[in-house]
């Protein structure tokens, strides 16, 4: 074969080989690029799904925390409201009890006060169970007491201002304080709780 022709064939074969190699390389590059793009899309999709899942988890945790805070706030508000209500009610009750005390002092002017004193004395004697007693009364009640005749009772004037009487045994061992302040003190807690529960009428 002619050397020139042989050289020409060799050159053409080399060019063909180069062309094929180039085409194969380009084809493989396209395949690899397409695969890379798909992988990238898959990774991004997974990342987005994971991010969305984490986002939902974070939002859920936040909602739970917010709910806890909300419940705590409402619980605190309810306690404060209840506390304020009880404090206000307590002040109202104390006002009522003070008014009762004032009214009791006015009771001395009532026509039935004398009968009340007689009952207070009889109650004291019954509680002590003594045949002879000493009845201590307020100087403000002297006009009423001086006309009373109670068997076994000796009357003694005192300077207290309260309504009612104190009944004591002759040897001073037994004392029954039947003045309004003492009676009220004995009933105070019971009355207060009744008022607090609302078991009263205005």
Pairwise pLDDT comparison (156 vs 102), residue with the higher score: 156
Residue 51 has pLDDT above 80, yes or no: no
Q: What is the 3-state secondary structure (H, E, C) of the chain?
A: CCHHHHHHHHHHHHHHHHHHHHHHHHHHHHHHHHHHHHHHHHHHHHHHHHHHHHHHHHHHHHHHHHHHHHHHHHHHHHHHHHHHHHHHHHHHHHHHHHHHHHHHHHHHHCCCHHHHHHHHHHHHHHHHCCCCEEEEEEHHHHHHHCCCCCCCEEEEEECCCCCEEEEEECCCCCEEEEEHHHHHHHHHHHHHHHHHCCCCCC
- What is the percent of the chain with per-residue pLDDT over 90, rounded to a whole number? 28
Pairwise pLDDT comparison (67 vs 81), residue with the higher score: 67
* Structure-token match 């085409």, residue found: 23
Whole-model pTM?
Answer: 0.50
pLDDT, tens digit, 9 for 90 and up, residues 91-138: 766 776 677 667 767 888 888 999 999 999 999 999 999 989 999 999
Region for 13 from its dihedrals, namely left if φ exceeds 0, alpha if ψ lies in -120 to 50, beta otherwise: alpha
Q: Is there a contact between 145 and 116 (Cβ–Cβ < 8 Å)?
A: no
pLDDT at position 202: 44
């Amino acid at each position: 074969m002619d050397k020139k022709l042989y050289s020409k064939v060799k050159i053409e074969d080399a060019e063909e080989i180069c062309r094929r190699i180039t085409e194969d390389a380009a084809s493989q590059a396209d395949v690899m690029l397409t695969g890379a793009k798909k992988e990238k899309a898959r990774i991004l999709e997974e990342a987005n799904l994971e991010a969305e899942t984490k986002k939902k988890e974070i939002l859920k945790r936040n909602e739970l925390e917010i709910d806890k805070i909300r419940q705590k706030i409402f619980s605190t508000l309810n306690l404060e409201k209840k506390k304020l209500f009880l404090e206000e009610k307590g002040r109202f009750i104390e006002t009522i009890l003070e008014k009762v005390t004032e009214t009791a002092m006015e009771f001395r002017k009532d026509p039935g006060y004398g009968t009340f004193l007689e009952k207070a004395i009889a109650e004291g004697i019954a509680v002590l169970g003594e045949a002879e007693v000493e009845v201590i009364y307020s100087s403000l009640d002297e006009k009423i007491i001086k006309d009373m005749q109670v068997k076994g009772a000796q009357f003694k004037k005192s300077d207290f201002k309260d309504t009612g009487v104190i009944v004591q045994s002759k040897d001073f061992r037994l004392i029954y304080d039947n003045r309004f302040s003492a009676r009220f003190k004995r009933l105070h807690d019971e009355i207060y709780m009744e008022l607090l529960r609302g078991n009263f009428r205005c």
